[in-house]
């Protein structure tokens, strides 16, 4: 059976991030990911990247 593709660009992933949590938080993340039709990894990576961008943008000095 051919691999499933999506409209998102497919990039090779060669790094792994690991995180420890409790079952309550994992279940919360799983429910949210499922609601969006994403895997746990997709959901967590997108959320972490959004937060990282927000933190970095908040530290920028904008001169108007």
- pLDDT greater at residue 57 or residue 24: 24
Per the domain annotation, does 45 fall within a domain? yes
Per the domain annotation, does 44 fall within a domain? yes
> Is residue 6's pLDDT more than 80?
no
Q: Is the pTM of this model over 0.75?
A: no
> Is residue 4's pLDDT more than 90?
no
pLDDT at 13: 79
pLDDT at 1: 47
Per the domain annotation, does 39 fall within a domain? yes
Instruction: Find the range with the poorest average confidence among 6-15, 20-29, 34-43.
Output: 6-15
User: What is the tally of structural domains in the chain?
Assistant: 1
Burial class (CB in 10 A: 0-12, 13-18, 19+), 38: middle
| CA-closest candidate to residue 15, choices 41, 37, 38, 43 | 41
Locus of tokens 């959901």: 43
Range of the domain at 40: 23-58
pLDDT average, residue stretch 28-32: 98
């Amino acid at each position: 059976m051919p691999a499933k593709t999506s409209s998102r660009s497919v990039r090779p992933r060669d790094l792994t991030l690991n995180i420890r949590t409790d079952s309550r938080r994992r279940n919360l993340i799983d429910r949210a990911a499922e609601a969006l039709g994403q895997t746990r990894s997709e959901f967590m990576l997108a959320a972490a990247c959004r937060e990282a961008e927000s933190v970095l943008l908040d530290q920028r000095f904008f001169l108007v």
